Structure 1
Amino acid sequence: MDVDAFVQANRPAWDRLDRLVKKRRHLSGAEVDELVDLYQRVSTHLSMVRSASTDAVLVGKLSSLVARARSVVTGAHAPLWREFTRFWTVSFPVVAYRSWRWWLATAVAFFAVTGVIALWISGNPDVQAAVGSPAEIDQLVNNEFADYYREHPAGSFALSVWTNNAWVAAQCIGSSILLGLPVPYVLFQNAANLGVIAGLMFESGRGDVFLGLITPHGLIELSAVFLAGAMGMRLGWSVISPGDRPRAQVLAEQGRAVVSVAVGLVAVLLVAGLIEAFVTPSPLPTPLRVAIGVAALLGFLGYVVHFGRRAVRLGETGDIEDAPDYVPTG
């Protein structure tokens, strides 16, 4: 089947069904009959597309249209709990899963920068002297770094950490308005700060303390930040290279995907904040604290892979069900 010709021939019927669904509360008798007829035809179109095309976006759009038309035809209304469940089992994980290349590339670049700066700091006394005096560095590596996690009540510290992490992620998400251009700078700042501390700690023989305190919460925390940065940059790239679809349509879809990730990361960063406040400074053995951090990361990645891959196989894109094809242009 020539998919492009098929789309061209049937687009008017799909658009007409979409218009009837949107005015479902004000349909005449004739329009109701037309809606039922179109619903049956578009359901057939969906089956044909699923069997003959690998275009996940087209399948997702038709699936959404058929689902909304079915709701009107049967008189069903999705309850709030169903929308909530759909977000956490489809919308958020499928957007994260489909962005895995950007997500992984962001993580690799971040750790590469962190590693280079850490090696530069640890092997260069002149650079260390520029960072601080020997007394200041000694205070940082032997007291201040560890005290940071212990000097505040756990509850208020968790809120503070969550707010700070959410702000970093929000900077990455917000940068999508500027096509993701500020994202590399935001991530570089954080990588540089982490690299400086890591270099000083390892140079002073306190690398085990550094890893023991940063790993429990840092794994899932940084994964969330990487995802936020990846989404911001991906949106920018979608404007530069939209593929064979209209640039406005791709921008609209990626913009809604960024919003889904922003909402989902609120919960992920909350988990990171709780671990940093209650697990990182706890008297638990270091291997156990690290194991908790690893388990949190694997749980998050497993969740994204399980639900995201399943949603992709069903033709889901994570886009909202009543989404327009294009962003308003004024």
Structure 2
Amino acid sequence: MTPLPSPQQLRYLVALADLGHFGRAAASCAVTQSTLSAGIIALERQLGAAILERGPSKRPVFTPLGVDLVKRARGALAALTAVAETAAAARDPLSGPLRFGIIPTISPFLLPRLMPALRTAFPRLQLWLREDLTERLGDDLAAGRLDLLLLALPATLPEVETLRIADDPFVAALPPDHHLAGDASVTLAALGGERLLLLEDGHCLRDHALAACGLPGAGGGDSFAATTLHTLVQMVAGGLGVTLLPRLAVEGGVLSNTPVLLKPLAEPQGRTLGLAWRARSPRVADFRGMAETIAQAIEASGATQQSRADAVLPA
């Protein structure tokens, strides 16, 4: 019978690939560096093949076989985790740890409302939160480091299932002395002639804003980029240009008492918010059970935003 790697050996392998450093990988696995190195050597002997290149470099360099084994090790660990999660979900649904990833254009504006709602609805659930860009959250989901994502759809993530839960409309944000400030609403054609301020590459909201205005993915050349929506608002307040803001962010306080003016779009545009999880996850029932609570929190934000928007946006 072919000797099989142990789960611990696979964890060593994946940690070394993720962190690129023997000491940090060992610390993440709660073992000494010598223990981790010995585990990798033992795995190579079991398999009868080299996983790491041996040379002067202190950083681990994986052989082509090693790169392939890391990918397979991730899948194997995810499958083992699913076995335990299946049993846990059957024993006690919507309980225990859940690793939840959220994109930064949602998390600071929704979490103050969402977290109390989730604690009330699911008191036995232990949420671990991570905020990051969609691509990196997707990598963590695929690797089993996250269980559930809240993001903007569509998202090009492999082997995931998604569930649309809410719409988040855009409003135009203008400097206080802008020539469109007196208009009741702003057309997309008018925005197309302005300097459109955007988030940096990697933020899905950037792509959604470009798509709403019918602009190419590169941003049309003469553009400035911000790292956060708060920075974007400050750039608008400083007269550098205009932007599109999701209502969820406006309701969440992104304007921060700035003089920025909000105008409705004459042709409504927005983004779709939804959940994503690994296809065939054993916790699908849990995720769908949480979806209604999350959707209600978003809807409540939208409803409040709508009432405030009526006061801020011209009728």
Identify the TM-score tier after normalising by the shorter chain.
under 0.3
Taking structure 2 as the reference length, what is the TM-score of the superposition? 0.25
The structure carrying a bigger strand percent of its residues is 2
Higher RCO (C-alpha 8 Å, min separation 6): 1
Structure 1 or 2, whichever has the larger Rg, is 1
Taking structure 1 as the reference length, what is the TM-score of the superposition? 0.24
